[in-house]
Structure formats: structure tokens, C-alpha cells
Chains A and B, each alone.
Chain A
Amino acid sequence: AQSVAQPEDQVNVAEGNPLTVKCTYSVSGNPYLFWYVQYPNRGLQFLLKYITGDNLVKGSYGFEAEFNKSQTSFHLKKPSALVSDSALYFCAVSHLKAAGNKLTFGGGTRVLVKP
């Protein structure tokens, strides 16, 4: 079985400050990890993914994430948050033996960036 936990329902940060959204996962074997962002009344937009290789992954809109195998974590980071980053963020995991390309999502973290 595979699972994802996003321990924070909401993260508040001031514009210009660093932003971190936490994610931990549980999966048998090597994980494939993804971050998506969802704006109101919209579908999910892909930000970045980790499959293998360098633990630091860079993605769209200045976001990056660090894969930590020992802590089974894949936290999303942005050095300087923008008001436009306010949205709902989802971490997701898949793996080699998942059913098809099934993604298992966390419950989401709402990010609010205040001016």
C-alpha cells in the first residue's frame, strides 16, 4: 500500500519569506514523488517530480523539493514566496508496482501568502 501525509492543513507566510510545504510518504520499494498545485475551480498543475538521481529537484515557478529517503520526506520549498503562490498544494506518490500509473495524493496544504 502507498500513502502520503501532509501534516499541515494550512501554511501562512509573508510575501518575500521562504515557503516550505511538508510531505512524508510510505511506499514499498522506490517512490516516484510529485507535487501539484490547484487554484480555485481549476484542475491540478504539475510543479515537479522526483524519480531517481539528484535529491534536489527544481521545478516550475521557482519551486524546488528535496527527496530524503531516510526520513521518507519530499518537502516543497520556494526561497521567496509571492502572493500569487496562494493556492492548494498536493503531494503525490507512485511506484513501480502501483496499479497502472495510480497516484496516491495527500490531503493537501493550503498556502496563504500575505502581502
Chain B
Amino acid sequence: DAGVTQSPTHLIKTRGQQVTLRCSPISGHKSVSWYQQVLGQGPQFIFQYYEKEERGRGNFPDRFSARQFPNYSSELNVNALLLGDSALYLCASSFSGTGTDTQYFGPGTRLTVL
């Protein structure tokens, strides 16, 4: 079975632009979570969606938004990009979306903001 897939692999944007990142979960998984990993740091939780509803939100500004589609894939949108948004954005899927459930991560999207 395919693992979690993310697109694009790399992305270069300029300050003030908007970006959309995409994630397809493992088949059968209903939960998708998004994390931001700045170089040299551990990942930070941005959002969790389960059955198309937001289940959790981290300490990120309203410029960050997400949604989940009926096929359980997800998009992360970031508006008004700042230099500090440069990071590896990781998507993780899990079956039940609970805290005990293992999250499986995709390879990430590397976003560079110039």
C-alpha cells in the first residue's frame, strides 16, 4: 500500500504570496494532521482534521487554514507568506485520529519564502 503522499515536493514563493499544500492519507485513514518543521527544530502541530471536521488547532496565526475532502485528502493554505514561514511542512495520517493512534508521516513539502 502507498504511504502518505504530499505535493509539491518543493515550493519557492515570495513574501505576501499565498500557497496551497496537498496531502493524501494512507488508504483507510480518516484523520490528517499538519505539522511545521523549521530547520533544526522538532515539528510543531498546526491542525488536525477527522471526517472533514477540525479536531485540533495549534498556535498558528489565522493566515494558516486547512480543509479535508470527502476522500480524506487535505489541503493546507497559508496566506500572506512571511520569511518565517519557510519550513518543511509535514502531513500525517492515522486511522482513528485519537491520541493513542500512530501517525504516519509523508515526505513533506519544503517551502522557501524569499
Chain B 31-69 near chain A by CB (<8 Å), digits 1 or 0? 101010000011111001010000111100000000000
User: How far does the Cβ of A89 sit from chain B's closest Cβ, in whole Å?
Assistant: 10
User: How far does the Cβ of B93 sit from chain A's closest Cβ, in whole Å?
Assistant: 11
Besides A98-B99, A103-B35, A106-B42, 19 other A-B contacts (C-beta < 8 A): A32-B100, A41-B107, A42-B108, A43-B4, A43-B105, A44-B92, A92-B42, A95-B99, A96-B99, A99-B55, A100-B50, A100-B56, A101-B31, A101-B56, A101-B97, A102-B48, A105-B42, A105-B43, A108-B41
Residues of B within 8 A of A49 (CB): 102
Of the candidates A32, A44, A100, A101, the one whose C-beta lies within 8 Å of that of B90 is A44
Whether A102 and B42, one on each chain, are in contact in the complex, defined by CB atoms closer than 8 angstroms, is no
Of the candidates A46, A101, A106, the one whose C-beta lies within 8 Å of that of B99 is A101
Q: Can you name the residue of chain B whose Cβ is closest to the Cβ of A9?
A: B40
Whether A103 and B45, one on each chain, are in contact in the complex, defined by CB atoms closer than 8 angstroms, is yes
Residues of B within 8 A of A51 (CB): 100
Residues of A within 8 A of B31 (CB): 101
Whether A43 and B56, one on each chain, are in contact in the complex, defined by CB atoms closer than 8 angstroms, is no
Whether B42 and A46, one on each chain, are in contact in the complex, defined by CB atoms closer than 8 angstroms, is no
Does B103 sit within 8 A of A, measured CB to CB?
A: yes
Q: Can you name the residue of chain B whose Cβ is closest to the Cβ of A104?
A: B45
Does A34 sit within 8 A of B, measured CB to CB?
A: yes
For residues 84 through 108 of chain B, which have their beta carbon under 8 Å from a beta carbon of chain A? 90, 92, 94, 97-108
Known A-B contacts A43-B108, A104-B45, A105-B43; the reply to A99 vs B57 at CB < 8 A is yes
Inter-chain CA distance A95–B98, complex, in Å, is 9
Residues of B within 8 A of A42 (CB): 107-108
For residues 64 through 115 of chain A, which have their beta carbon under 8 Å from a beta carbon of chain B? 90, 92, 94-96, 98-108
Whether A100 and B97, one on each chain, are in contact in the complex, defined by CB atoms closer than 8 angstroms, is yes
Of the candidates B48, B98, B106, the one whose C-beta lies within 8 Å of that of A43 is B106
Residues of A within 8 A of B107 (CB): 41-43
Whether B90 and A90, one on each chain, are in contact in the complex, defined by CB atoms closer than 8 angstroms, is no
Residues of B within 8 A of A26 (CB): none
Q: Can you name the residue of chain A whose Cβ is closest to the Cβ of B99?
A: A94
Known A-B contacts A42-B107, A43-B108, A101-B31; the reply to A90 vs B56 at CB < 8 A is no
